[in-house]
A and B are shown apart, each in its own frame.
Chain A
Amino acid sequence: MLREYATDAMSEFLEMGGYAAFVWPAYGIVIVVLAGLLLVSLHRLRRNDAILTGLEAAHPRRRRNATAVSEPAPPSAPEIAGTDR
């Protein structure tokens, strides 16, 4: 009896007053797209961080010498990336 009532309530909820074909896809698409965008962004951050760590570990001398040696000093080495314009 209670189970029947619960099942009825559940199926009524899922039917969305006959508009299930519009309401559920809307919620599904939003969740999938937002989660996907988050995963893609996190993956890209991890990859870039790994590459950067590798570059800095492989050439620790580079960053100090770059400004000291080469004649027109490159704009304040990587500390503020993106300012050199």
Chain B
Amino acid sequence: MPLQGYANPAQFQRLARIILPWSAGVTAVSLVVGAVLALLLSPPDYQQGETVRIMYLHVPAAWMGLFIYTSMAVAAAVGLVWKHPLADLYCRAVAPVGAVFTALCLITGSLWGKPMWGTWWVWDARLTSVLLLFFLYLGYIALVNAFDDPTRGERAGGILLLVGVVNVPIIKFSVDWWNTLHQPASVSRLGAPAVYHTMLVPLLVMTLAFMAYYLTIAIIRLRAELAGRRIQTLRLLMIGGDWVAPPPRPAPRVEISDHDPDAMAQRHGPAAWTATTTLNHPHSQAAAPVIPRS
């Protein structure tokens, strides 16, 4: 597995420690510069007046929503194919961030739509497909947390992510494919962007701010996920391993084991199961905790 050599958790922690102060610094600086450019130095639009300043939040938030989803889908594919240890944890860690950016895109869009279109919401192709993206994020979060075994949840969630990726080009091209109320793309199109530089520069600075913020928060959340997974592993080992419980308790005891007690009982009778597990277990002399099988 070649990928694992490049990004195992220990290497991630080392890299994260180097990147984090830089990404946090870039976030702070570019957010302040971007806000000054967007609110003070950029001109009002000749048609939309001052409301055009909402664009400097709305468009980067939309890009982030799409970017994070796409990155999650790529990570899900890597996780499903190569069983990369960080890929699934990455999806789990950043899904709420993607949902937040998509929600911010919808909210700022609504606040822009009311004065310019005269409505908070229309069931236009672009708006509806972005709402679907928001629900895909929520669906992923709910699905991943619906399993007791986190790795099973992540596998199911990964498949959802890969199926949902079809929505990404639909969002991108919705303004071209359908006659939407939403305006078509002005920045990312063939040839030069149709935005004058006094507006393009603040937009790009705000995008840089959002990207740096995302990098910072993704590192923080992925580290929290890694620590959480380790806590879970330690606790499971504590239950199943050589953890010595204070008061000695007599049988019946049932150990967590690979053996199937029902199959053993069928072959040898119920007594055989208890006897073999008690004798074979390395801690049969020590007092092991009684773990009820659920």
Contacts and interface: CB of A to CB of B under 8 A. Distances in A.
A22 B111 contact: yes
Given A45-B220, A62-B238, A69-B282, A52 B85 contact: no
A70 interface: yes
A82 B241 CA distance: 18
A70 B83 contact: no
Contacts of B10: 79-80
Contacts of B73: none
Contact of A56 (B58, B229, B234): B234
B253 interface: no
A55 to B, nearest CB: 5
B50 A65 contact: no
Contact of B85 (A23, A33, A80): A80
Interface string B225-238: 01111111111111
A83 B83 contact: yes
Given A45-B223, A52-B230, A70 B282 contact: yes
Interface in A22-72: 22-23, 25-27, 29-30, 33-34, 37-38, 41-42, 44-45, 48-49, 51-52, 55-56, 59, 62-63, 65-66, 69-72
B54 A65 contact: no
A85 interface: yes
Nearest to B258: A72
B217 to A, nearest CB: 6
Contacts of B258: 72
Contact of A44 (B85, B115, B224): B224
B151 interface: yes
A29 B104 contact: yes
Contacts of B191: none
Given A41-B221, A78-B234, A69 B241 contact: yes
A4 interface: no
A65 to B, nearest CB: 5
A41 B50 contact: no
A20 to B, nearest CB: 8
Interface in B1-58: 8-10, 35, 39-40, 44, 49-51, 53-54, 57-58
Given A22-B51, A45-B227, A80-B8, A30 B57 contact: yes
B124 interface: no
Given A80-B85, A83-B83, A33 B54 contact: no
B224 A48 contact: yes
B50 A34 contact: no
Interface of B: 8-10, 35, 39-40, 44, 49-51, 53-54, 57-58, 61, 83, 85-86, 88-89, 96-97, 100, 103-104, 107-108, 111-112, 114-115, 150-151, 213, 216-217, 220-221, 223-224, 226-238, 240-243, 258, 280-283
Interface of A: 13, 16-19, 22-23, 25-27, 29-30, 33-34, 37-38, 41-42, 44-45, 48-49, 51-52, 55-56, 59, 62-63, 65-66, 69-72, 74, 77-85
Given A18-B50, A26-B112, A45-B223, 18 more contacts: A22-B112, A26-B108, A29-B104, A29-B108, A33-B100, A33-B103, A37-B97, A45-B221, A48-B227, A51-B231, A62-B234, A62-B238, A65-B242, A69-B242, A71-B281, A74-B241, A79-B10, A81-B9
12 contacts: A18-B49, A26-B108, A27-B39, A45-B224, A48-B224, A48-B231, A51-B231, A52-B227, A62-B234, A63-B234, A66-B242, A69-B282
